[in-house]
Structure 1
Amino acid sequence: MDPLDAQPLSLVRRRLVMLCAVLGIVLAGLDGAIANIALPTIAHAMQCSDMLTVWIVNGYQVAVAVSLLPAAAFSEMLGLRRVYAFGLALFTVASLACALSGSIGWLIVGRVVQGLGGACMAALSGALVRAIYPRSMLHSSYAIIALAVAISAAVGPTLAALVLAVAPWPWLFLINVPIGLIAVPLFLRVAPHGAAFDASSAPQDGGLFDWRGTLLNAGVFGAGVLGVGALGQGNTALGLVELGVGGASSVAFYRQQRRRKTPMLPLDLLAIPLFSLSILTSICAYTAQILAYVALPFLFQTVMHQSTVMTGLLVTPWPVFVAFAAPLAGRLAARYPAALLSSLGLATLAFGLLLLSIMPVNPTIPDVIWRMAICGIGFGFYQTPNNLTVMTSGPSTRSGAASGMLAVARTTGWSLGSALVALIFGLMGGSHGATACLELGVAFAACGACLSVTRRVVRQSSSKA
């Protein structure tokens, strides 16, 4: 029985907790995307080098990557209520600090702190949903989460461009503050007590939090993200060194976690084939998504000579049709195997990306829109059933760890995809680079479809066993 089946929430209270979860996803996702657009503006305003300004983005991405698993581990010790509220409050304070920063150094520090708060929200949103909804309603609720992720990734650059058109760059961060000031007290008021929200299970390994594992985790994901980014920027030597550090840290991290009864890296969940295949599927899907999201604006503006606002409008059909497909996929997941629905969705995404890659040299607006719609439908059909599988393939007591791994998969896919775009553009440039990114996105989506359908075979084998 689900914890909240025994302690049902009122409809209004459940929706308010869900609103706070969605706000966290959108805030963290938007701030991960909008800073890219603002880098030239900030560099000019603060009169600093482009190389230093890039750390406004790198600092945030690294902070998120290294904090996801520790945030999930803390949630299982202290409860979802405390850790999620802390992350939301920290993100709000850091947003204000970023807006008020008078130097590039303090702005980077603010972005790192902002990333720590964003990681708490990104890692725990899925666990919040599982904690407040009974199993029979999870399909529709995860569809809302899928929509929030899609919108935050797609709308970020356009929103940044619109804000910069009418206001100075600090407003990119100031707009988060009133939202946070409302969301933090609201969440603390409506989040229920008991069950997973106020869990206080001390670690079984000596009664202390796994700080050694946290440091090794930072080596794995921090060096990994930086290494992939360095390769994408053409700095091969530094990239290989950082990837080497990440690889060595991975081995040490795995060995250290195997000796713990309550590992930060959820080895117990990863030992479940259904869970691990779903995580790999998620990495492939998000890599394909970000390959398209980063490459398409370049194609629209440089090749099709569209304005920034029109570029945002051309990208919009993707999240709009995710909004259409995700709830439908959620309802179908109650009757049909999630593995088949996700495979169908990723195959559709691959087909849509292929159609975008072979567009005419001078496509019309409708030529772009219907292709983007196909991609959105495919991604929407993939995301809800896959997330549902990740969150329900393990015990409910491990929902924090499962949600954290889902966020790790999303971050890994986005980081890998962004670095591949930079690498391809560095090698090819121009419209050829954008087309190559879309073609690579086809390959990742097709790979994800194959991994997803394999889950059907695994589930059938487990049932027979």
Structure 2
Amino acid sequence: MKIREHLSLLAVLCSMAMVVLDAGMLNVALPTLSNALAVGPADIIWSVSAYQMALLVGLLPSAQLAERFGHRRMFVAGLMIYLAASVLCSVSPNLLALLVGRVFQGLGGAVIMALGIAILRVVLGPDRLGKAIGWNALVVALSSAAAPALAAAILAAGSWQWLFLAKLPIGIVALAASIGFPPSNSTRSSIDGVAIVIHAASAVLILFAFERLNSQPAMATVALVGVAGLARWMIAREKMRQVPLWPVDLLANRPLRTAVYASVACFTAQSAGLVALPLLLQLGLGTSVIDTAIVMMFWPVAVAVTAPIAGRLSERADPSILCSIGGMLLGAGLLIACFSPASAGLSPYVAAAVVSGAGFGLFQVPNNRTMFLSAPPDRAAAAGGMQGSARLSGQTFGTLLVGLLLGYYPTTDAVSLAVGLGGLSALVASMVSFSNLPRFVQRHHA
């Protein structure tokens, strides 16, 4: 690799690590923040919701802005916004100030998530993109595994403000390394302000509906009907634009469209498993918090081991085969956890975490590679925005699934059912990925 390639890779991976660490560390620290800011648990959870809302709102507009002003310029701007927002969060005297900081963190994080792999595609080329995605998955998995322990160590040694400040050196390294990015190539494409407003309104209504689905189903239904109306209008409008905000042009590409659908199903399974499995261990088996954390740690470790291997395999084998096998392994792992008797102890759940993590790592890398390489180079940012949106949508659906089941069934039955349905969602992802195989075979035997 050339020095510029090393620097570009370092900038993207450090930025991704910073964003992932932030999410994992804050989830652990919510009780501490609740006490420090003198607000209730229901209020402090908005620090998570505000970030998710900004992320969902910002992903696709970030891609369009990058196509207008250039990837490098937008990525650096997003990174600087994220760092400034982290400082703002650290000095927040009350919940309102913290929420403002979290919104700006989400907007900066959206730029990072939408453009990171798109930049690496330009820097490394399509032949090495699979390895780059594998390295990215490795960093994400290790950061996810380290976040809870790092948050606990920071809170034990200092105040909650250091949760936001401790990551700043990583961001500064990323900012310095971004000098290796290729120059920004601006275009004359216009920014569709109306589309951005409609997109933001749709995202806010979706999150509002999900928040209210259990407590106020009528209001949630009205919100979802509103989203459907906005979406219908938006799609009709976007089809007439050469560079649409909602990438309906890219969804006309069957391999890319299939990869997006499979990604939503896979992340639904992953989210349902990661949320419900700890509850199943603690409430169903009476496992301690420490033992539960140890069992769950096998999941990201398995992803970290599998992802680089999947990156190399994705450059040699058909991605639909790898994704199909990965989805089946993820589904099998979750179904093992669902149907294992309590008398069997923790061993089946450790095996389930390992198999699920390995399957997710094997699925994620080739599926992301398919999404990015199916899009034209000048639409790589849009592909990145769509990939991030698919991931966030699946994670939201998985969390919603667990919440809905907890509202209608006894706790132990609900979380066990959620794990099982997550397994079925992973199998759906496997079948959707496999549907691309005939075209691959026909193309190579023609």
TM-score between the two structures when normalised by the length of structure 2: 0.94
Match for residue 3 of structure 1? none
> 1:319 and 1:117 mapped to 2: Cα distance?
25
Whether 1:256 and 2:246 are equivalent positions in the alignment is no
What is the letter of the counterpart of residue 85 of structure 1?
A: V
How far did 1:306 drift?
A: 4.1
Match for residue 9 of structure 2? 18
| Correspondence for 1:191 among 163, 178, 181 | 181
| Correspondence for 1:222 among 198, 201, 204 | 204
Superimposed CA distance per residue, residues 28-73 of structure 1 (whole angstroms, 9 cap, x where no aligned partner): 2333343333323222222223333221111100000010000011
> 1:267 and 1:21 mapped to 2: Cα distance?
27
How far did 1:133 drift?
A: 0.8
> 1:348 and 1:411 mapped to 2: Cα distance?
22
> 1:418 and 1:167 mapped to 2: Cα distance?
31
How far did 1:459 drift?
A: 4.2
Match for residue 137 of structure 2? 146
SS in 1 for 2:435: helix
Which has the higher mean CA deviation after the structures are superposed, 72-81 or 154-163? 154-163
Which has the higher mean CA deviation after the structures are superposed, 413-422 or 102-111? 413-422
Whether 1:302 and 2:283 are equivalent positions in the alignment is yes
Change (3 A) 1:421 1:451: same
Match for residue 111 of structure 1? 102
> 1:235 and 1:44 mapped to 2: Cα distance?
28
Change (3 A) 1:392 1:432: same
Structure 2: 5+ residue runs without aligned partners?
none
Match for residue 416 of structure 1? 397
Q: Is the 8 A contact 1:354 1:442 kept in 2?
A: yes
What is the letter of the counterpart of residue 202 of structure 1?
A: R
What is the letter of the counterpart of residue 126 of structure 1?
A: I
What is the letter of the counterpart of residue 315 of structure 1?
A: M
User: Alpha carbon RMSD of aligned pairs, Å?
Assistant: 2.1
| Correspondence for 1:314 among 295, 300, 310 | 295
> 1:110 and 1:167 mapped to 2: Cα distance?
21
Change (3 A) 1:213 1:154: farther
Match for residue 448 of structure 1? 429
Q: Is the 8 A contact 2:18 2:171 kept in 1?
A: no
SS in 1 for 2:39: coil
Match for residue 59 of structure 1? 50
Match for residue 200 of structure 1? 186
Match for residue 254 of structure 2? 273
Match for residue 6 of structure 1? none
Superimposed CA distance per residue, residues 114-139 of structure 1 (whole angstroms, 9 cap, x where no aligned partner): 10001000111220221111222222
| Correspondence for 1:282 among 242, 263, 284 | 263
Q: Is the 8 A contact 2:12 2:174 kept in 1?
A: no
Which has the higher mean CA deviation after the structures are superposed, 174-183 or 151-160? 151-160
Match for residue 192 of structure 2? 210
Q: Is the 8 A contact 1:161 1:308 kept in 2?
A: no
> 1:43 and 1:133 mapped to 2: Cα distance?
44
Q: Is the 8 A contact 2:328 2:426 kept in 1?
A: yes
> 1:286 and 1:155 mapped to 2: Cα distance?
20
> 1:12 and 1:301 mapped to 2: Cα distance?
48
How far did 1:257 drift?
A: 1.1
Q: Is the 8 A contact 1:273 1:458 kept in 2?
A: no
Change (3 A) 1:463 1:246: farther
Whether 1:433 and 2:419 are equivalent positions in the alignment is no
Match for residue 322 of structure 2? 341
Change (3 A) 1:383 1:230: same
> 2:296 and 2:313 mapped to 1: Cα distance?
26
Which has the higher mean CA deviation after the structures are superposed, 222-231 or 289-298? 222-231
> 2:286 and 2:22 mapped to 1: Cα distance?
27
Superimposed CA distance per residue, residues 280-330 of structure 1 (whole angstroms, 9 cap, x where no aligned partner): 000011110011111122233334444444433221211212122222222
Match for residue 390 of structure 1? 371
Match for residue 27 of structure 1? 18
SS in 2 for 1:202: coil
Residue correspondences, number: 446
Structure 1: 5+ residue runs without aligned partners?
1-9
> 1:440 and 1:150 mapped to 2: Cα distance?
23
Q: Is the 8 A contact 1:350 1:443 kept in 2?
A: yes
| Correspondence for 1:373 among 349, 354, 357 | 354
What is the letter of the counterpart of residue 215 of structure 1?
A: V
Change (3 A) 1:127 1:464: same
What is the letter of the counterpart of residue 191 of structure 1?
A: F
SS in 2 for 1:316: helix
| Correspondence for 2:228 among 243, 247, 256 | 247
Q: Is the 8 A contact 1:56 1:111 kept in 2?
A: yes
Change (3 A) 1:226 1:139: same
SS in 1 for 2:342: coil
Change (3 A) 1:92 1:139: same
SS in 2 for 1:261: coil
Q: Is the 8 A contact 1:58 1:226 kept in 2?
A: no
What is the letter of the counterpart of residue 279 of structure 1?
A: V
Superimposed CA distance per residue, residues 392-433 of structure 1 (whole angstroms, 9 cap, x where no aligned partner): 112112111111111110111111111111222222243222
How far did 1:463 drift?
A: 7.5
SS in 2 for 1:47: coil
What is the letter of the counterpart of residue 347 of structure 2?
A: P
Q: Is the 8 A contact 2:3 2:180 kept in 1?
A: no
